[in-house]
Amino acid sequence: MERYAKYQDSGIAWLGEIPEHWECIKFKRLTPIKRGASPRPIADPVYFDPDGEYAWVRIADVTASERYLETTTQKLSELGKSYSVSLEPDELFLSIAGSVGKPIITKIKCCIHDGFVYFPNLKANKEFIYYIFSTGQPYLGLGKLGTQLNLNTDTVGGIEIGLPPLEEQKLIAAYLDRKTAEIDELIAQKERLIALYEEEKTAIINEAITKGINPDVKLKPTAIDWLGDIPKHWKIQKLRFFVSKIEQGWSPSCHNYPVSKDEWGILKVGCVNGDYFNQEENKSLPIEMKPKTQYEIKDGDILISRANTKELLGSAAIVVDLRLKLIFCDKLYRIITKYEVNKNYLIRYLRSSLARFQYEREATGTSISMQNIGQDTIKNLIIPFPPIEEQKTIAKYIEKEIARIDAKIAKTKRIIELQKEYRTALISEAVTGKIKIPDLVS
């Protein structure tokens, strides 16, 4: 893309050279920097009203939003509003806590607390300023090495930016609006494609573990509505007939960092959350604590989560390529199987939507964030079992198909990653004057 004819050195490390006609200016010269305020104590219900006119903005609301704030989970009463700072639609504000440095433009009437700063009487195009802060580059060098970025009214006001004339700001912001919308739509298309790939994986697995992989096989009804027909030569069994033992792990108090080589560690329940076993999900056992080695895992072990969120409850994996000395935690079960079942076939069933239906039906727990299943739920899982050799064939087929689809997903994710990198680079180059947008060239 074309560059400007002449440049000047801004003297600012993150900014570098800027077009000769741009001004290098401290942000506080463009606007007062004001901080939000909170009614205290914040938990007092007198400050809230579900029918209130002004929304109450929390850090979580900003984190969950993109460029615009369009909704929040709470609203303030008139009393609560009187102790806070109110903003009208189309005002720009900035997070200085939590999602530090994130800019956002409100589309609703709202009130902000002291974890935000806002800019009344901004003498610049707010969309252009939004794009500058969205890159994160103005904050470079503000924090000490190895420490969290800390922003306040003084540090934000002291940030130096490159500022073109107002009409040029508007043109650059409008150009970035169009281009980022195009990029975002492409990313959304790719994300929808990934969702379709995931649906394809689920369909392949469910078909294989209920119908097999022979399209001409004769079927028989099961009288189980959620299972449907299965091949005539298959049997429906409860898992208990193929399990010799189910063990629950051990969860001592551990360090909050992963284990080092030759030390003992305790697996976290997240080790089974992905498609495959992840031994890096562990915590270091204090050296003075004697490990209970009867809970040490080994290659080939089947682990399943007995306590987790609703979506992850029952996640399962086979331990492979073990390189560390690890013990499974008490939120995991270890399933010891008999010879009549192929572990790879079983793990595909345990991770399937058919098994998940049974977990959710039997789960206990008052909180959605932590559900539980007992050993009897695992033992009483209803599973269609083909002969052992057919189990092996089906498991290999599923692995091959999943690998094929995963390759497509990985390629699509890489495209998304590149588009996000391009988006960031485009914004950065446009708001620092490294490129001259086509609207200005024409």
Q: Is residue 20's pLDDT more than 90?
A: yes
Closest CA to 153 of 288, 37, 298: 37
Query: Of 1-5, 112-116, 302-306, where does mean pLDDT reach its minimum?
Result: 1-5
With contact defined as beta carbons under 8 Å apart, do 38 and 114 qualify?
yes
Neighbour count for residue 144 (Cβ, 10 Å) = 9
> Would you state the pLDDT for residue 145?
42
The average pLDDT across 141-147 equals: 57
| pLDDT confidence of residue 274 | 86
pTM of the complete model beyond 0.75:
yes
Using DSSP's 3-state secondary structure scheme, residue 346 falls into helix
Roughly how many angstroms between the first and final C-alpha of the chain, as a whole number?
13
Distance, in Å, from the CA atom of 366 to the CA atom of 335, rounded to the nearest integer, reads 26
What is the structure's pLDDT at 379?
Answer: 96
How far apart CA 394 and CA 170 sit, in angstroms, is 60
The confidence score (pLDDT) of residue 438 equals: 85
Q: Please state the rounded mean pLDDT for residues 168-180.
A: 97
pLDDT tens digits for range 90-107: 999 999 988 889 999 999
Residues linked to residue 305 through DSSP beta bridges, in sequence order: 332
CB 129 within 8 A of CB 159: no
The pLDDT value recorded for residue 123 is 96
Give the pLDDT of residue 143.
61
- Residue 214 DSSP class: -
pLDDT > 70 fraction of the chain, expressed in percent and rounded: 98
Task: Tell me the pLDDT band of 146, cut-offs 50, 70 and 90.
Answer: very low
Average pLDDT over every residue of 62-79: 95
pLDDT digits (tens, 9 = 90+) for 381-412: 999 999 999 999 999 999 999 999 999 999 99
Q: 126-134 vs 388-431: helix axis angle to the nearest 10?
A: 130
Give the confidence band of 442 by pLDDT, cuts at 50, 70, 90: low
The string of pLDDT tens digits covering residues 110-124 is: 999 999 999 999 999
Domains within the chain, CATH numbers bracketed? 7-165 (3.90.220.20), 235-385 (3.90.220.20)
Report the DSSP beta bridge partners of residue 265.
284, 326
Name which of 49, 57, 51 is nearest 76 in CA terms: 49
Task: Specify the DSSP element, H or E, that contains 248.
Answer: strand 243-248
pLDDT band (50, 70, 90) for residue 367: confident
Q: 105: closest CA among 117, 94, 90? A: 90
List Cβ neighbours of 144 (8 Å cut-off, separation of 6 or more).
Answer: none
* pLDDT tens digits along 247-267: 999 999 999 999 988 899 999
Question: Per-residue DSSP letters for 403-426?
Answer: HHHHHHHHHHHHHHHHHHHHHHHH
